[in-house]
Homo-oligomer: A and B are copies of this chain.
Amino acid sequence: MPAYNAFYAQSGGVTPVINASAAGVLQTAAKYPEQINKVYAGQDGILGALYENLIDTSLESASDIEALKMTPSGAFGSCRYKLKSLEIHRAEYQRLIEVFKAHDIRYFFYNGGGDSQDTAYKVSQLSESMNYPITCVGVPKTIDNDLPFTDCSPGFASVAKYVAVSILEASMDVASMSSSSTKVFVMEVMGRHAGWIAAASGLAADHRGLGPDIILFPEIDFDQQAFLAKVDATVKAKGQCSIVVSEGAHTADGKFLADSGVRDAFGHAQLGGVAPVVTGMIKDNLGLKCHWAVCDYLQRSARHIGSKTDVEHAYALGQAAVELAIAGKNAVMPTIVRTSNSPYTWEIGHAPLADVANVEIKMPADYISDDGFFITERCREYLSPLIQGEDYPSYTNGLPDYIVLKKQKVTKKLPPFEVS
């Protein structure tokens, strides 16, 4: 059996550990030279395949590939470009197959969230109907933690650790100062549709009164009166209040708190930011001194405080993707299967892409407390193992040794293509 090339691409919002999955794919592929010749990475995700912008990963040094394990962001570039249905984007799917043919690519590893797994599934279908034998394996990734079948999605756990550590630290700051200064701190985290990231901040809450006092989830309709009453009661009881708010927090009519249409003095529309909205509400109604922070990209790139468990998951899933492909499995996605909570143990499973595609996992209702402002013990049991362990990058001159790859391109063989 001759060896064929493989295609690997990173898709959607990047994470602190997607490059660890890349390292898993590349280092494992190198162990099967009789099946896999070279791995070509797409420059900027699937666009790299469509534009025939292929990066020859065999030209990267072994140490640089190893350094991917500790490097955040998408080392090959990612993209927000979404392949639509086969009917609408047939030309794009056909182009993919043409590029794969031209470069002798018979393995397709697609590292992304729900949409990307759907794309991987469609490619597998098309290859069948076009009679081009390509093995498609998805590699799960999303900080949103909303992929089905897998116990968690790589990337989420490191973001979870970042937000838990950050609110722990900030709540200690507020506790130090609250007798004569700031009484309320509001931290905004990601999560447009699901409160997983906001929920993770609850891990910082302990018997000493540290961590967040209130969490605002997108799953719970925001009730201003109940919220202000809770803030007021918290400040009266303990002298200060720390709040974590999900960017997706919204009122019962579905209106995002962040979409408040503010304009500044220059007349510019202000972009989102639910933390300042919530803060203004507290200041106006309760007259308390507040501070607020918006984590934004800092949370999803914070590899400096990456979860060791997350890094291990991400690497193992990249590795498993290649092993599944070598074993002849097609149209599947490796998954994390939790085998025990305490001590935390896990193994790798896999699920058919047909079932993964377009299924979004929500937070279970019993993960949120009855008053809607905190997580339950059950939620804590699920989340706690995920942030275990630290996996620090190496540093030079006080800064992490994050790697930037050489990204040398494969010579193009096809005419240019324009995406629709």
Q: Given known contacts A283-B271, A294-B294, A301-B173, is B390 in contact with A395 (CB within 8 Å)?
A: yes
Residues B277 and A276 in contact, CB atoms below 8 Å apart: no
Residues B291 and A264 in contact, CB atoms below 8 Å apart: no
Residues on B with C-beta less than 8 A from A387 are 397-399
Interface 0/1 of A239-270, CB less than 8 Å to B = 00000000000000000000011111110111
Residues on B with C-beta less than 8 A from A208 are 404
Residues A73 and B297 in contact, CB atoms below 8 Å apart: no
Residues on B with C-beta less than 8 A from A296 are 170, 185, 291-293
Cβ of A389 under 8 Å from chain B: yes
Contact of A169 among B77, B260, B276, B301 (CB under 8 A): B301
Residues B281 and A270 in contact, CB atoms below 8 Å apart: no
Cβ of A81 under 8 Å from chain B: yes
Residues A402 and B172 in contact, CB atoms below 8 Å apart: yes
Question: CA of A55 to CA of B75 in the docked complex: distance in angstroms?
Answer: 52
Cβ of A290 under 8 Å from chain B: yes
Residues A187 and B277 in contact, CB atoms below 8 Å apart: no
Interface residues of A in 268-304 (CB under 8 A from B): 268-271, 273, 275-277, 279-281, 283-284, 290-298, 300-304
Residues on B with C-beta less than 8 A from A203 are 398-399
Residues on B with C-beta less than 8 A from A210 are 402, 404
Interface 0/1 of A397-414, CB less than 8 Å to B = 111101010000000000
Cβ of A420 under 8 Å from chain B: no
State the main secondary structure of chain A at its contact with B.
Answer: mixed
Tally of this chain's copies: 2
Count how many chain A residues have C-beta atoms less than 8 Å from C-beta atoms of the other chain. Answer: 89
Cβ of A339 under 8 Å from chain B: no
Closest to A206 in B: B399
Question: CA of A394 to CA of B203 in the docked complex: distance in angstroms?
Answer: 17
Residues A269 and B298 in contact, CB atoms below 8 Å apart: no
Question: CA of A279 to CA of B273 in the docked complex: distance in angstroms?
Answer: 12
Cβ of A197 under 8 Å from chain B: no
Contact of A72 among B173, B263, B297 (CB under 8 A): B173
State how many angstroms separate the Cβ of A105 from the closest Cβ of chain B: 21
Cβ of A144 under 8 Å from chain B: no
Q: Given known contacts A265-B261, A293-B298, A402-B168, is B270 in contact with A277 (CB within 8 Å)?
A: yes
Binds B, one of A120-128, A176-184, A318-326: A176-184
Interface centre among A165, A295, A404 (most CB of B within 10 A): A165
Contact of A170 among B284, B297, B399 (CB under 8 A): B297
Residues B291 and A268 in contact, CB atoms below 8 Å apart: no
Q: Given known contacts A80-B180, A177-B79, A298-B187, is B168 in contact with A400 (CB within 8 Å)?
A: yes
Residues B268 and A265 in contact, CB atoms below 8 Å apart: no
Q: Given known contacts A180-B79, A262-B262, A293-B297, is B398 in contact with A169 (CB within 8 Å)?
A: no
Interface 0/1 of A39-72, CB less than 8 Å to B = 0000011010000000000000000000000011
Binding site for B on A (CB under 8 A): 10, 13-14, 44-45, 47, 71-75, 77-81, 161, 164-166, 168-170, 172-177, 179-182, 185, 187, 203-204, 208, 210, 260-266, 268-271, 273, 275-277, 279-281, 283-284, 290-298, 300-305, 307, 384, 386-390, 392, 395, 397-400, 402, 404
Q: List 13 A-B contacts (CB under 8 A).
A: A44-B180, A72-B169, A164-B399, A166-B302, A168-B400, A170-B296, A170-B298, A185-B297, A187-B298, A262-B262, A264-B280, A298-B298, A305-B305
A-B residue pairs, 9 tightest by C-beta: A268-B280, A387-B398, A73-B172, A74-B176, A169-B301, A260-B264, A293-B296, A260-B265, A79-B180
